[in-house]
């Protein structure tokens, strides 16, 4: 019996544009027909396995939310439809639900529940037909010239995503795993996160995510909405590592968020971004090819037609991304350059009907049919047609039979998220040893590297690949095929689902570790009361990012009159000691705060000054070390646009806030590593990583040692520290355990509390001042 690790989630709530069934009414009888598509096939295979003995612990139940093609009554929609398995249907592909209204589930013990979302036709035409298919689909498949940018379609897209969100709000339970699928619902994770901050949300994209240069073509507010919406998920999955990296680069460049190779911090949450290549139910396809009587019958029909000719096949949905015309042109070029194969091969080209009511697709269909007719007329005879063209859908048995007897699988999409046909073909090669020709632009190419990989736009390359496939020795074909079969047998659709599930469970644990403690009104009131009631209190304030917002030009980040007046009011009470502790140099702090009754600590603790006093230096004044490192800092400044060097008395600082986020982070990492290697054997210099800065300074001091020294010389019964930077972590670490430490921003910190934004600092200070006045 297969061992399955029990899940922490009681239900999986699958959300996609379509329900896995379309509802067909005939009189008082209603039937359900399974919808086409890779997602439905994958979840169908998963649901079948869930009904096996010993497998039910994977999930207790699957709820599928999607658009219904039937105008169900409110009562029906509320009660939904419950069935046992997506595959529980007669051979015709139709599942009978029962007579009369769908008010009673036909399968009382079913694990599957369908929840329809009603979308008006006028909205759907703009949402699905407009934004999804006329903008996102072409752009994400690298056809930017075909993308239509219409604000009205985007508004419908937003509206439709909100309809899904409203439906989910009524059915979601605390222990659900909400699994959102594909480009139709980019905004939904964000909407759900607003409604359910603690929800477990996954998002999987089944099409390619384009490179940054393509994605940025989308209007700014659309693309920002898409990225922010996706980041509402906890786990974001793609088919390949390339797609995940393209997404992270767009997040970094367009939203300015700091990313790692597989994660990003978004609104205080740790979001994981990774590749999860979808698999197939290998045993289902392989077993049918070996043992199914229906498949054997279909195979005999095909073989009797072939009469010992070798068969090349392709199966695609009608779409410009599939490279259909290119494929036909390449096959014609093959016949021209390899005439020895004339009358010895047949190319069975199956095109599955799709969107042929749209003019562009109708024209594409006519073009394909004209090309096929021309080639058959040019090369064909009374006994032989080089291309057998079928514009139809195939049954499962017909499909497996075609896979099984084909000598060559010709899968050449111009761009494809994964392409499961390639994997299905490999799984069905049980007697012959066929050869897979696969586009390097298909996501499956990263897994099926033993296939003959080709550029789908190069007819010469495709023609050469066909010849190679037809002449490849049996031993070579066997070795290559067995390697691919082993891989897709080991990583199936069940492995895919389980991998995502276990990744999500691990992620939830990591999120708990990284969780930030946002300050609530109750916490704020308690801090205010502690401050007001204390006889001697100290408040440590960082400058940039805390007292004032960041500026692209540091010299312009100056305190305005309201900020200066607040500091004066705060420091006016003799019980209060205000300490401004900053990485700024002493000249800047003198310029703006010399007349304010505050203590100043400059350059991370290198200099200290009491109100009305003189600066004292806490470090060795020798600066000769700078000459060896200034050229290195300058080299990085020359290469990284927007970066600059700031020289202080005690340090060299490289700023990259004005640089493109991805470029700045890359060069910052390289600079840190280079100078760390140079100072590794010394104990006089230290590399400091701040907010968009890399700083090299003398060792033996930091904000923490400066703060500790300050409090050691005084007696305080209330200490508050506010800061936003990594350098401020040293302050939190050095202060007494009962100190109130506050991190600005929603990133993880050893501080006890987090304030959401820098704007909240002024409000907190003002509340302390007002409370002081009332108590005084």
User: Residues with catalytic annotation?
Assistant: 542
Residue 156 has which token pair? 């419908």
Bridge partners for 688 per DSSP:
695
* Neighbouring residues of 115: CB distance < 8 A, sequence distance ≥ 6: 63, 64, 65, 66, 77, 80, 167, 171
CB half-sphere exposure, 371, CA atoms < 13 A: 18
CA distance 776 to 759: 27
CA distance 322 to 475: 31
CA distance 765 to 394: 70
Backbone angles phi and psi of 112, in degrees to 5: -115, 130
- Cβ atoms of residues 538 and 714 within 8 Å: yes
Q: What angle in degrees, to the nearest 10, is found between the helix axes of 474-490 and 420-427?
A: 120
> 25-46: buried (b, 16+ CB within 10 Å) or exposed (e) per residue?
eeeeebbbbbbebbbbbbbbbb
CA distance 548 to 761: 9
For residue 208, which of 450, 445, 500 has the smallest C-alpha distance? 445
CA distance 529 to 398: 76
CA distance 208 to 9: 29
CA distance 371 to 575: 89
CA distance 184 to 207: 11
CA distance 672 to 695: 9
SS3 (DSSP) at 120: coil
CA distance 695 to 653: 4
DSSP 216: T
Containing 138, the helix (H) or strand (E) segment is helix 137-140
SS3 (DSSP) at 144: helix
CA distance 153 to 145: 18
Backbone angles phi and psi of 700, in degrees to 5: 95, 0
SS3 (DSSP) at 493: helix
CA distance 417 to 284: 23
CA distance 25 to 3: 41
């Amino acid at each position: 019996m297969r061992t399955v690790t029990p899940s922490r989630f009681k239900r999986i709530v699958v959300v996609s544009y379509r329900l896995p069934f379309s509802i067909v009414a005939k009189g008082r009888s209603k039937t359900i027909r399974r919808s086409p598509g890779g997602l439905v096939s994958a979840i169908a295979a998963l649901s079948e396995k869930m009904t096996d003995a010993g497998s039910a612990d994977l999930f207790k139940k699957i709820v599928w939310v999607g658009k219904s093609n039937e105008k169900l009554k409110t009562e029906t929609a509320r009660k939904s439809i419950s069935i046992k398995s997506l595959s529980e249907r007669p051979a015709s592909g139709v599942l009978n639900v029962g007579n009369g209204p769908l008010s009673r589930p036909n399968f009382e013990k079913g694990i599957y529940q369908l929840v329809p979302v009603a979308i008006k036709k006028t909205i759907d035409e703009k949402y699905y037909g407009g934004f999804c298919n006329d903008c996102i689909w072409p752009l994400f498949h690298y056809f930017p010239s075909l993308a239509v940018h219409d604000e009205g379609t985007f508004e419908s897209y937003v509206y439709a995503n909100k309809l899904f969100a409203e439906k989910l709000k009524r059915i979601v339970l605390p222990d659900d795993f909400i699994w959102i699928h594909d480009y139709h619902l980019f905004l939904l994770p964000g909407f759900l996160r607003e409604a359910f901050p603690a929800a477990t949300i996954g998002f999987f994209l089944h099409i390619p995510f384009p490179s940054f240069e393509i994605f940025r073509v989308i209007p700014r507010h659309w693309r920002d909405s898409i990225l922010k919406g996706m980041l509402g998920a906890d786990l974001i999955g793609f088919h390949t590592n390339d797609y995940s990296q393209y997404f992270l680069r767009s997040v970094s460049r367009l939203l300015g968020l700091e990313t790692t190779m597989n994660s990003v911090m978004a609104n205080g949450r740790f979001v994981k971004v990774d590749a999860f290549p979808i698999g197939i139910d290998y045993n289902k396809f392989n077993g049918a090819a070996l043992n199914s009587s229906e498949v054997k019958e279909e195979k005999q029909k095909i073989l009797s037609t072939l009469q010992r000719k070798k068969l090349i096949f392709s199966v695609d949905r009608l779409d410009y991304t599939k490279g259909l015309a290119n494929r036909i042109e390449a096959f014609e070029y093959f016949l021209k350059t390899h005439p020895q194969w004339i009358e010895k091969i047949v190319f069975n080209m199956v095109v599955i009907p799709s969107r042929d009511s749209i003019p562009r697709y109708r024209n594409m269909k006519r073009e394909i049919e004209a090309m096929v007719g021309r080639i058959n007329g040019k090369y064909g005879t009374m006994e032989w047609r080089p291309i057998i063209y079928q514009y139809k859908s195939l049954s499962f048995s017909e499909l497996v039979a075609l896979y099984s007897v084909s000598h060559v699988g010709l899968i050449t999409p111009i761009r494809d998220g994964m392409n499961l046909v390639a994997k299905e073909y490999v799984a069905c090669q049980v007697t012959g040893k066929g050869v897979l020709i696969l586009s390097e632009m298909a996501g499956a190419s990263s897994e099926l590297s033993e296939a003959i990989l080709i550029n789908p736009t190069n007819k010469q390359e495709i023609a050469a690949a066909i010849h190679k496939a037809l002449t490849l020795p049996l031993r070579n074909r066997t070795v290559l095929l067995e390697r691919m079969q082993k891989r897709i047998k080991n990583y199936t659709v069940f492995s895919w689902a389980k991998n995502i599930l276990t990744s999500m469970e691990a992620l939830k644990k990591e999120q708990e570790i990284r969780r930030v403690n946002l300050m609530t009104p109750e916490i704020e009131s308690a801090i205010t009361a502690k401050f007001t009631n204390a006889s001697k209190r100290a408040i440590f304030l960082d400058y940039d990012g805390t007292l004032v917002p960041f500026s692209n030009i540091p010299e312009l980040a100056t305190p305005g009159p309201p900020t200066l007046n607040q500091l004066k009011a705060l420091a006016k009470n003799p019980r209060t000691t205000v300490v401004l502790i900053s990485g700024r140099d002493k000249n800047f702090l003198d310029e703006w705060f010399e007349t304010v009754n505050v203590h100043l600590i400059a350059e991370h603790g290198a200099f200290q000054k009491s109100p009305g006093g003189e600066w004292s230096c806490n470090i060795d004044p020798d600066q000769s070390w700078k000459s060896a490192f200034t050229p290195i800092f300058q080299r990085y400044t020359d290469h990284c646009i927007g970066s600059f060097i700031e020289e202080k008395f005690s340090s060299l600082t490289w700023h990259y806030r004005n640089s493109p986020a991805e470029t700045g982070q890359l060069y910052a990492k390289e600079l840190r590593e280079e100078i760390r290697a140079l100072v590794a054997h010394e104990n006089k210099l230290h590399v400091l990583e701040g907010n968009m800065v890399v700083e090299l300074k003398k060792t033996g001091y930091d904000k923490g040692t400066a703060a500790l020294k300050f409090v050691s010389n005084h007696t305080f019964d209330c200490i508050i520290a506010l800061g936003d930077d990594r350098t401020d972590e040293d302050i939190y670490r050095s202060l007494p355990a009962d100190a109130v430490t506050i991190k600005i921003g929603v990133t993880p910190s050893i501080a006890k509390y987090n304030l959401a934004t820098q704007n909240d600092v002024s409000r907190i200070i003002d509340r302390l001042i007002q409370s002081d006045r009332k108590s005084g």
